[in-house]
Amino acid sequence: MEELRTNRKWPWPPKLLKWKPRQRVNFRVGMLFLLPWTIGFLAFTLYPMMASFVYSFSIYHSKQPLEWVGLQNYADLLKDSLFWQSLSNTLYMVAIGVPLTLLASFFCAVLLNLKVRGQSIYRVIYFLPSIVPTVASTILWLWILNPQTGILNTLLGYIGIQGPNWMSNPAWSKPGLILLGMWGMGGTIVIYLSGLQDVPIHLLEAAELDGANWWQRLWHVTVPMVSPITLFNLITGVIWMFQYFAQAYVFRGSHSLGYPLNSTLFYSVYLYQNAFLWLKMGYASAMAWVLFIIILICTLLLLKVSERFTYYAG
Amino acid sequence: MKHKNLWLFISLLLIASMLLASCGGGKPKTSVLRVWIQWGDNPQQLQELFDKYTAETGIKVEVTAPVEPDKILPSLTGSEPPDVLVLSGGDLVKSYYKEGLVEELTSAIQAGDIDLNDFFPASLDQCQMGDKILCLPWGTDMYALFWNKDMFEAAGLDPETPPATMEELVEFADKLTKVNADGTIEQIGFLPDQAWSHSDLYVRMFGGFWYSEDGTQLTANSQPVIDALTWQQQFYTKYGADNVLALSSGWADAYMSADYPFYTGKLAMYVDGEWMTGPNFISAFKPEASYGVAPFPPPADHPERANTAVVQGTVAVIPAGAKDKDASAKLLAWMMSPAIVAEEFCFNANLPTSKKAAEDPCFTSNPKFKEFVDLMASPNAKYIITTPISLELNEALGLVEEQVLHTGADPKPLLDALQAEFEPKLQEALK
Amino acid sequence: MAANLPTQYPNLQLHAETDEERRKRGRARKVRSFFKSLFSHTLINFIGLFFLIPFLWMLVTAFKSSEDVFHTPPRWLPYDNVRVEVNGEQLPLYNVQTESGVKQLAAVKIVEGVGTFVDPADPSQTVECEIQQGTTKIAEPIMHISFRWQNFPDAMARGSRPGVGASFWVYFKNSLIIAFFSIVGTLLSNTPVAYAFARLKFPGREILFVLILSTMMLPFQVTMIPIYLFFNDTLHWGNTFLPLIIPTFFANAYDVFLLRQFFKTIPEEMCDAARVDGASEWQIFTRIVIPLSIPVLATVTVFTFLWEWNDFTGPLLFLTSPKNFTMALGLQDFQSQRTMIWNQLMAAATVFTVPIVIAFFFAQKTFIQGIKLTGLKE
């Protein structure tokens, strides 16, 4: 009888009451150390999350009291053509910009891993643009992408290509922004570089002995070995790209947000416009929560899909 | 106790942030009034002007000019709005009032002893909603045609004779546009939306507007609006909108610099405001330019529309969140006094909104500026019509215009969609 | 014999190589490796140009004169007016077409298309003529290759709104202040939190850590509006640096993660020995862990500096009067004023970039180390 009672693992009463004094002391100490984060979490994460959740179901114009409207904001979002446009603009960057940049940075990392003279100088050159502050590099690229006086189109002209209107043609504004993003991918290159250096040499040697050429070694050994890094970069890149704001804001110069023709109206930019330019804070909060859900779904999808492709050594 | 130091540290951390908070947050300067001016042709001179108020009353005035349009609304809704805000145009004031962001000024006018009869009635119109006065006009702007005399000469046109009709303008523009062999454009004869949209002027030239005259109805898809957009479109599509955009990319950004295309020989004719004839623009950036100014020509079959101009005022408002409404009212009254209006707008080359100030001879001494003064007296000079939905409508109209001009789209379906979307919003807002 | 060959070595030769064959193979390999090396060198250089040219372009434009900035085709070296001293003033020299041929005259002033020139050798006589008739230029400025260092002090003193006490120097100072206090706040708040997750055993630790990590996925837009309203309307901290600095005193997920990874590498034995000796957790933290963590603290410092220096959205939301702008905001402000003085803009952008580049060259290892720490999986 006694055995039966003590062996059963009841979830109730909760373990809290069963803590040994040692645990209780540890908990107290732990909470003390955690105090900065706890206060921060409550004040700057939890409270705002709950507040914006409430706002998303209301009409809130800042100076006037909150007006509960239930799901009206969300319904309006579905009917809002600018919402869909901003979403598609952002998805363009996420689906094209992020993988392209990852591919390019992996390629650059491979290059920088080769034994060439002046390797360290090249590494500095590839990395330096990534620490140029965002506003400065965006303005610089506005200068570079100018259709008639910018050097990009001038250089393209030397090889006989007539460069497009990077800034006033809606089809080319996003590619221009992607170029800007690639210019600053030094950080990703460094992460890949250190990952490349961790690829076990014995695997590469074995492959070489097996007669694998350079490309086969790359594809069958290196890429799988750095796949955890690829996954990490992919997820962080996607999460970051969904929140793309500063570059688009600066890129439009003195034109209206989203110039040209709303092609640079990204989700975050449209949200900002709604919240701070048109004072539709409830509507903007609804947009924010939709964004959160989209990011969660994308991240989960990526993790699910990646299980097939990532390889974790040991 | 064992973790004394830890407690000490945590409490120090909290105290440190509190201290930072208090010393950073406290702003004891209640004796400084802040004036924000959306346009800022010469911020230094503006500060010097307001220093005169300081000399008179001892209250320090801090001028911020120019202010980006994007920052206006955040400043009105933020916790520290300026004490007086001067906007480039009166078209958004009704929207702001609807949101509760600006004060109704009747009491301020009484407190400051401002003489409403001194204002030109048309300029005060844009500030009135029923019997409420939402803003006070401070200087007014008008647009006309500017042309580059050197480029006229080079194209074989008489540099002293501007086009007399809109059709002639198109002809002149053709002669003044140079296209290279590979299709790229060397110089443009006339660009209708440089440096910003002038559809309000063109639509008037075609005999209508996108609001009804009393501002109660939206007429966005009426024939004059369609015609105006179609007329503007030809200047882009004739040479290939892409080619035109390749050249004009970045022109709007260079408005206040020596690289503005009107100064560098890339643009021969365009529509701009009276401030260009003053000391802050052409004379400052390109004194070597020789240019002419004339009223925008009417269509050939409607000569009665000659001297049509759209008058847009800059207006001063008191934000609802201003700290000391009395002080704001007094400052506003000082700004509206004829002597100050005369001084500021004589210097800056803007049109005066005060009848007494307009008597000052300085307004007629500059021959090019005089063109605008004369134009103001024309019976066809009309103030822009505004409504509480102007904020959103202007954005939407701008987008339609961009689509029509830059991509050669057909204006009618776009305007029909605009009308359908905003007419109910206007009716809703006017209730 | 052939049947005994292991299948994974298909290229193995069965017969002994002759000298001839060995030499040929050696040559072939040398040729192959030469071409491989040539190819990789070219590729690295070519792509390196993509990274280098914009950077150089920014620097070159910063040194150009206003007339030279829009020169087509774009020139790689900066050109400036040739100036000559006349009566104590530096006047630009022009090639002027006069009746007696082309003369080099100094321009005294130019008003509405008519220029007043003097001969530098004989300043008493003035010549007046139009600058341009039609498309023929009568007077053209003479330019030479010259680096206009003056752009830098000009740009910095100018700021985005000349004459209202808000120059780029002020913006620079504001950026420094915000960055400094943010670093202080970050170091003070993140280290205890990270230590707790790394070395303290308390119930609920793993759950809380997962919670912290999950906040990394929260887009800032979700919390942005209430935080803005809280700081602006409730606390009235609008237009001050506080909304940007105070949150750094309350820890953030990224730095906690980074520091925790590092703290975990500190040997358990040292901490255990101290515990046995009766030291409190706080003492272990401050006396043992922190001194050992200087490298990672340096990394956090550098990264916090980089992040705050770079930050645009935060200042955009909270700083409304130009006197309080940071460099990032000021630069964007300058650019949106429609006064595209490109050479000054690039000069200001260069000054904006310089502190980070300096920091990079001094702390290269720290930079790279930090990036690796954030990038590598646990």
Tens digit of each residue's pLDDT (9 = 90 or more) over A136-171: 999 999 989 988 888 899 889 888 888 899 988 999
Mean pLDDT score, C231-237: 85
User: Would you state the pLDDT for residue B146?
Assistant: 95
H/E run at residue C116: strand C114-119
Q: Of the ranges A74-78, B134-138, B210-214, B377-381, which one carries the lowest mean pLDDT score?
A: B377-381
Q: How many Å is the Cα radius of gyration of chain A? A: 26
Q: Spell out which residues of chain C touch residue B27, defining contact as CB-CB under 8 Å.
A: 240
C190 and A34 Cβ atoms separated by less than 8 Å: no
Confidence of residue A7 (pLDDT cuts 50, 70, 90): very low
> Which residues in chain A are closer than 8 Å to B250, comparing Cβ atoms?
142, 146, 149, 167, 253
Selection from B197, B195, B203, B191 nearest residue B239 by Cα: B191
Q: Write down the pLDDT at residue C321.
A: 80
Q: What is the pLDDT of residues C81-137, one digit of tens each?
A: 888 888 788 888 888 888 888 888 888 877 766 788 888 887 787 888 877 776 677
pLDDT category at C236 given cuts 50, 70, 90 is confident
Q: Given a cut of 90, is residue C73 above it in pLDDT? A: no
Cβ within 8 Å, pair B79-C113: no
pLDDT tops 90 at residue C202 = no
Interface contact flag, C286 B5, Cβ < 8 Å: yes
pLDDT, mean of residues B62-70: 83
Specify the pLDDT at position C377. 40
Closest alpha carbon within chain A to C9: A210
Better pLDDT: A120 or A22: A120
Find chain C residues with C-beta within 8 A of B6's C-beta: 192, 280-282
- Whose tokens are 């020596």? That residue is B258
Contact between residue C14 and residue C2 where contact means Cβ atoms under 8 Å apart: yes
How far is residue B280's CA from residue B398's CA, in Å, rounded to a whole number? 28
C115 interfaces chain B, CB cutoff of 8 Å = yes
Ranking A260-274, B373-387, C250-264 by mean pLDDT, the lowest is B373-387
Q: How big is chain C, counted in residues? A: 378
Q: What was the pLDDT predicted at B391?
A: 78
Residue C378, pLDDT score: 36
Enumerate neighbours of B (3 or more CB pairs within 8 A).
A, C
> What pLDDT, on the 0 to 100 scale, is given for residue B21?
61
| Mean pLDDT score across all residues of chain C | 84
Burial of A175 (0-12, 13-18, 19+ CB in 10 A): middle
Average pLDDT value for residue range C196-202: 87
- In this predicted structure, the answer to whether residue C9 has a pLDDT above a threshold of 70 is no
pLDDT band of B23, cuts 50, 70, 90:
low
The reported pLDDT for the residue numbered A98 is: 96
Q: Which residue of B has its CA nearest to C65?
A: B258
Q: Given a cut of 50, is residue B143 above it in pLDDT?
A: yes
Q: Is the pLDDT score of C297 beyond 80?
A: yes
Can you tell me the mean pLDDT for C278-292? 85
Report chain C residues whose CB lies below 8 A from the CB of A239: 216-217, 219
- DSSP, collapsed to helix, strand or coil, labels residue C16 as coil
Asked whether the beta carbons of A165 and B245 are under 8 A apart, the reply is yes
pLDDT of residue C288: 85
| Nearest beta carbon to residue A165 from set B3, B73, B249 | B249
Mean pLDDT of all residues in A210-238: 87
> Cα A34–A37–A41 angle (5° rounding)?
135
Element (H, E) at A72: helix A72-79
Chain C partners within 8 Å of B5 (Cβ): 280, 282-283, 286
What residues in A contact B420, CB-CB < 8 Å? none
More confident residue, B268 or B286: B268
Lowest mean pLDDT among A123-127, A155-159, B72-76, C68-72: C68-72
State the DSSP string of C331-348.
HHHHHHTT---HHHHHHH
Q: How far is CA B415 from CA A44, B219, B301, B405, in A?
A: 45, 9, 25, 13
A 10 A CB-CB count for A220 gives 14
Residue A3 has pLDDT above 50, yes or no: no
Q: Could you give the CA distance from residue A20 to residue C202 in angstroms, rounded to a whole number?
A: 11
How much is the average pLDDT of C277-299? 85
Token readout for B312 is: 């847009």
- Asked whether the beta carbons of residue A36 and residue C249 sit closer than 8 angstroms, the reply is yes
Per the CB < 8 A criterion, the answer to whether B260 and B276 are in contact is no
Mean pLDDT across A124-128: 92
For the stretch A4-36, what's the b/e string if a residue is b when 16 or more beta carbons lie within 10 angstroms of its beta carbon?
Answer: eeeeeeeeeeeeeeeeeeeeeebbebbebbbbb
pLDDT in tens, C311-322: 999 999 898 888
CB atoms C322 and B64 under 8 Å? yes
Of A30, A51, A111, the CB nearest to C205: A30
State mean pLDDT over B14-35. 65
- Give the pLDDT of residue A299: 92
Give the model's pLDDT for residue B5: 66
Find the mean pLDDT for residues B19-27. Answer: 55
Q: What is the mean pLDDT of residues B153-170?
A: 92
The answer for B135, left when phi > 0, alpha when psi is -120 to 50, beta otherwise, is beta
**How large is the average pLDDT for residues C198-214?**
87
Chain B from 390 to 429: CB within 8 A of any C CB: none
Model confidence pLDDT, tens digit, residues B295-318: 999 999 999 999 998 888 889 999
Assigned token pair, C366? 């720290």
pLDDT exceeds cutoff 50 at A314: no
Neighbours of C211 (CB within 10 A): 14
**Residue of chain C minimizing CA distance to A36:** C250
Scanning A218-247 for CB atoms below 8 A from C yields 228-229, 232-233, 239, 242-243, 245-246
Taking CB atoms and an 8 Å limit, are C235 and B2 in contact across chains?
Answer: no
* Closest residue, chain B, to C238 (C-alpha): B79
Overall average pLDDT of the A76-86 stretch:
94
